[in-house]
Amino acid sequence: MAAFILSNLVGLVRQILVSREFGTQDVIDAYNAASTFPDILFSLIAGGALASAFVPTVTDYLAKGERRHAWYLTSAIANIILLVLSVFCLLSAFLAPQIVSHILAPEFSPQQQALTTDLLRILLIAPTIFGLSGLLMGMLNAHRVFLWPALAPSMYWLGMIFGVIFLSPSMGIYGLAWGAVIGACLHLGVQIPSLVRLPGRQYFSSLGLHFPAVREVGRLMGPRLLGVAAVQINFLVNTVLATGQPVGSLTSIKYAWAIMTMPQVVIAQAIAIAALPTFSAQVSRGEVSQMRNSLAATLRGILLLSLPASLGLVLLRVPIISMLFERGEFDAQSTHLVAWALLWYGVGLLGHSVVEILSRAFYALHNTLTPVLVGVAAMSLNVIFSIGFSNLFTRMGWAPHGGLALANSLATTLEMLALLFLMSRKLTGISWGEIMPALWQTVVATLGMSAGLWVWLQLTQDQPGWLIAIGGALIGGALFILIALSVGIREVRLVVSEVQRRLRR
């Protein structure tokens, strides 16, 4: 989690530098459109789909002490990734003009489409590198090595920072694209020293198509692939819709999404990545009741952190964005465009966080079909909501890109509720007696914090954005902790007691 916090800080610096250099101009819209397709390729072939299938399978071998089989599986999957992604990216680079004009940005002008095509061809270098890097992450996590894989995103952001500072002054937006490629190489490279130190390390030059575990990864990956495809299609629909909206709409939802996912990464992804090998090992040993208890404790922590983060983000959205980005080409109008999207994304933070944990729990049970079917249904609703809310917002005189953010939050909340119901049935309960008291206590503390923040915002309307944001964060955090202690939230009391014990020592 500490590494993810560092990654968020480095990513924030990257976002500040990019916004200062390019603001919400048409060139950054072109970059964001071009980056959508490589992201889809990575996610489909070697992103979440592969990790959810690979980690539980390789953990089974490691739990049984069968290291040679674990390394054979890893080698085979690495060879398949290298072959498939290389071929796919080469074909995509050849067909880049058609991909841009018919899929990514049909509403762009011819000049902007040409720029998007050039950027896409550069960015298509990265997916193969990321594919191998994602596999290394899974192998290291299966060995309970979390620090260096968690630092890998920071390396990616550092590559982009290098591109903005040293390449963009002479190359413009192309410098940012080459910085992303450099960042992908750093993302992979930072994990290699940890990989070579793993016990029993071996490499096999085989695709392993005859190996049962490779087929098991394929079997588990199939449904998950469908789910990831649904998510990526949804992002693609949002990209297409945003390119037909006023200038800056696409970049605004990208910035707002990045800000919303900062607490989501720290709260949910860090916990979920650490929990998946533990869940998988408990299932492998037949300890379903222990997994049920682990899941309940994890959900309590997610609720405790994500609810106040969601309301705090919504209330402080304007001063936060102003403090972070309002400089250079990023003006007050850009701030309000991003804040409008963040308002609607922020309300979905809880749903995104809980879905992250519940999906990992299903993967540990070797059940990728259930979360995928629910995810496909949710993303189908998301597409419908995106079109509907965009049109509704336009008729109401509101900026339509806010409707895209609201659609995502609503669909994810419905997905969360469906997964909670199905997981409860799968495990014959999720220890609701442990979760529900924590939920109500957290709601009380969050509402009290929100009331305090509202008063703070009224008193500081004419103050600089940095003062409002930092002061609000400190006041909101202090209020939440005090109210949480007064209503008896167990985790907060444990943390305070531990801090006091360490200070006394």
Interval 194-251: pLDDT, tens = 998 998 888 998 888 888 888 888 877 777 677 667 666 777 777 778 877 887 788 8
Which tens digit of pLDDT belongs to each residue from 57-102? Answer: 888 888 788 899 999 999 999 999 899 889 989 999 999 999 999 8
Q: Is 267 a residue whose pLDDT tops 70?
A: yes
365, 301 in Cβ contact below 8 A?
A: no
Is there a domain that residue 95 lies in? yes
Q: How many CB atoms lie within 10 A of CB 375?
A: 27
CA atoms within 13 A on the CB side of 474: 6
Decide if 345 is inside a domain: no
Query: How far is the CA of 264 from the CAs of 16, 108, 161, 230, 492, in angstroms?
Result: 19, 32, 22, 21, 19
> What's the pLDDT at 433?
81
When mean pLDDT is compared across 141-150, 168-177, 278-287, 393-402, the lowest value belongs to 278-287
Structural domain total, the chain:
1
Cβ within 8 Å of residue 361, ≥6 positions away: 275, 279, 291, 295, 423
pLDDT value at 370 more than 70: yes
Q: How many angstroms separate the CA atoms of 201 and 390, rounded?
A: 52
Alpha carbon of 341 to those of 181, 336, 457: distances in Å? 28, 9, 20
Query: What pLDDT score does 240 carry?
Result: 78
Neighbours of 148 (CB within 10 A): 18
471, 460 contact by CB (below 8 A): yes
- Separation of alpha carbons 224 and 393, rounded Å: 33
pLDDT class of 143 with cuts at 50, 70, 90 = confident
Please tell me the predicted confidence (pLDDT) of residue 44: 63
Question: Phi, psi (5° rounding) for residue 488?
Answer: 85, 35
Domain range spanning residue 32?
26-245
* Whether the predicted pLDDT of 47 surpasses 60: no
What's the rounded Cα separation, in Å, for the pair 307 and 346? 10
User: 335 in a domain, yes or no?
Assistant: no
Q: Is the pLDDT of residue 6 over 60?
A: yes
pLDDT computed for residue 190 by the predictor: 93
In a domain, 451, yes or no: no
Q: What is the pLDDT of residue 311?
A: 95
Helix axes 110-123, 67-94, angle to 10 degrees: 150
Backbone angles phi, psi at 429, to 5 degrees: 115, 155
Compute the average pLDDT of residues 452-473: 93
Look at residue 59 in the predicted model and tell me its pLDDT. 82
DSSP string over 239-267: HHHHHTSSTTHHHHHHHHHHHHHHHHIII
Residue 296, CB-side half-sphere exposure with 13 Å CA sphere: 19
Q: Does the residue 337 lie in any domain?
A: no
Q: Is 16 within a domain? A: no
- Considering the chain, what is the average pLDDT of its residues? 87
The pLDDT-based confidence of 493 (bands split at 50, 70, 90) is confident
Whether pLDDT at 45 is above 70: no
Residue indicated by tokens 């789910």: 227
- CA torsion sign for 282, 436, 378, 397 is negative
Mean pLDDT, residues 397-403 taken together: 92
Q: Is the pLDDT of residue 268 over 90?
A: no
**Contact 322/384 with Cβ under 8 angstroms?**
no
User: CA-to-CA distance for 117 and 492, rounded, in angstroms?
Assistant: 51
- 281 is a domain residue: no
Half-sphere exposure of 400 (CA within 13 A, CB side): 21
**What is the C-alpha to C-alpha distance for residues 358 and 109, in angstroms, rounded to an integer?**
42
Amino acid at 415: E
Specify the pTM: 0.72
44: in domain: yes
